[in-house]
Structure 1
């Protein structure tokens, strides 16, 4: 006679689709949506990268890898790529450090902690366009509240949007601020699930608060940090468009290109302003290669430092 556990196991083993076509029938709606909105456009983009094309005029001329070669040899595009990498490193590194610090402070048992956490998470509810508009109003050289305050206290009114260094720094700070809430949500949830007995044992052994954080808590937070590094890299590469477009429109001009013109904004300019569809498609292909390389290196190098122990 079968035991209850064996009966359940046999029932689950028999709970399969009767026909080979039935699983594909249930998957068909999802596969159709993915094909129409992701796979086919991606293939079309890769095909278009090999053409000198203008979608407005409807002209195409096969050029092979010429679009990619011209981009890699272009001083303006190399500057844009370097600016993007600097922007990515600054926003990811500083953003995660600030997020971790704020999440650690917000997790402390203090009065009103729920309200502090709500205020920290609130910016996540804002779209990048709204966030960019807020920063534009705050740092407007003439009527912005920041310049009004600096003018009354120090008699200075920096030209935030006209100076290349100030404009670049402003976009970096705005991007970090916009991403703080997303990172804090994950860090705060992870910190609240840290094993309390391990933390208490470290404190009993005489560890200082800083040692408890860096030697005990932080290694246990490396899995979520590994995840957030990847999501923040993707955000820096693609979600910077709205902030850049609203705050600076890619400017001010510096050497060969706008100082805040990043890869995704350059793609938009070539594809939808200058109507260089083939060049824009080649840029999309290069960004795909860049993301794949970063992902590979992250899993190749970064995962070794991730501690999955409980």
Structure 2
């Protein structure tokens, strides 16, 4: 198979292909230079007399190979089920290959550049960002509010906390079934409650404007127990003397929350933003498949579901592999951006 950075410069290639090739060349140069740069930096520190990390004590294994032998089962599982499929996805993304087809054809970066002109894919990309942002914002704000209320010293608080955390134990598919029963247009609980107050029935799952919100609420409810668990742990570890001093100084409950509690919870919030973003991009497939199957009119067809339709339903493995890599890079890029822009505002310690 010809290297990607060479095939993108063939005479018949478009400008976007050549730009992609330049990016591949730069990435290919950066990968081998990274360890060389790290070695150069350490060598410079050694010459300047800068002390390095403390030497660790010898482990409990006298034979060096014994530790590797014990790690072999874990390494085997990781290689077979994680690393090899990941590398093979890159190979498939450069091929025109279908399920059951006897032969595959090398197409260079066509599977990637074709996404830029695919209206369905670009629409799915926008839907993904909108739904994911709503899940993160509504999920974290609602979880923090509920955790703050559950933290209050009330009778039966332990029981309430267990019940609040329980939804996290179910799978996204089960969450989809529960919300399908609730928002079923014919006999759902939501339409029954609307009928009690004289509001006409709504087509929750067949209306392009309502269906995304059902998916969002189902996903938020599914993940809320996870968020509440961390926020409760954070609230229990807040310095009580600081809150009491603020109360003595005349600060009200709302002011104490925004001036003390919220900043001290910023490390937990920072962690939950990353985990909820990953959940919103990757783990809502089961909820969407049971609720709307990507409809109506593609209003809930997020990228992970689009990959399923292209790769499994249509059998276009090459295009699905390219979309998988793009989705992975988007999440990695957003995570790096989150670290770059938000971590500096995180308050560690009291």
> TM-score per shorter chain, which class?
over 0.9
Corresponding residue to 1:237 among 278, 281, 285: 281
- The answer as to whether partners of 2:185 and 2:205 remain within 8 angstroms in 1 is yes
2:329 to 283, 289, 294: 289
Q: TM-score, normalised by structure 2?
A: 0.82
Aligned to 1:30: 74
Secondary structure of 2:197's partner? helix
Distance across 1 between alignment mates of 2:338 and 2:102: 41
Equivalent of 2:290 in 246, 249, 256: 246
- SS of aligned partner of 2:97: strand
Deviation at 1:14, TM superposition (A): 4.8
- What is the rounded CA distance, in whole Å, between the counterparts of 1:110 and 1:285 in structure 2? 49
Q: Are 1:209 and 2:253 matched, yes or no?
A: yes
Q: Give the direction of change, closer, same or farther, for the CA distance of 1:228–1:155 in structure 2 (3 Å limit).
A: closer
Shift of 1:57: 2.1
State the Cα distance separating 1:277 from its structure 2 match. Answer: 0.4
Which whole-Å CA distance do the structure 1 matches of 2:124 and 2:59 have between them?
Answer: 55
| Counterpart for residue 244 of structure 2 | 200
Separation in 1, partners of 2:203, 2:85: 41
Give the drift of 1:16. Answer: 4.4
* Candidates 200, 222, 225, aligned match of 1:156: 200
Counterpart for residue 347 of structure 2: 307
The Cα shift of 1:252 comes to 0.5
CA displacement 1:91-111 (0-9 Å, x = unmatched): 101110000010011001011
Question: How far 1:68 moved relative to its partner?
Answer: 0.6
Q: Which has the higher contact order (CA 8 A, sep 6+)?
A: 1
Gaps of 5+ in 1: 1-11
Q: Deviations over 1:215-246 (max 9, x none)?
A: 11111111111110000001000111011101
Q: Give the 5 Å matches for 1:49-88.
A: 49-88=93-132
* Aligned partner of 1:95 among 131, 139, 142: 139
State the superposition RMSD in angstroms.
1.3
* Alignment length (residue pairs): 295
Following TM superposition, where does structure 1 have runs of at least 4 consecutive aligned residues deviating by more than 6 angstroms? none
Larger mean Cα displacement after TM superposition, 35-44 or 50-59: 50-59
Show the counterpart of 2:305: 265
Decide which moves more: 15-24 or 185-194. Answer: 15-24
1:222 corresponding residue in structure 2 = 266
SS at match of 1:164: coil
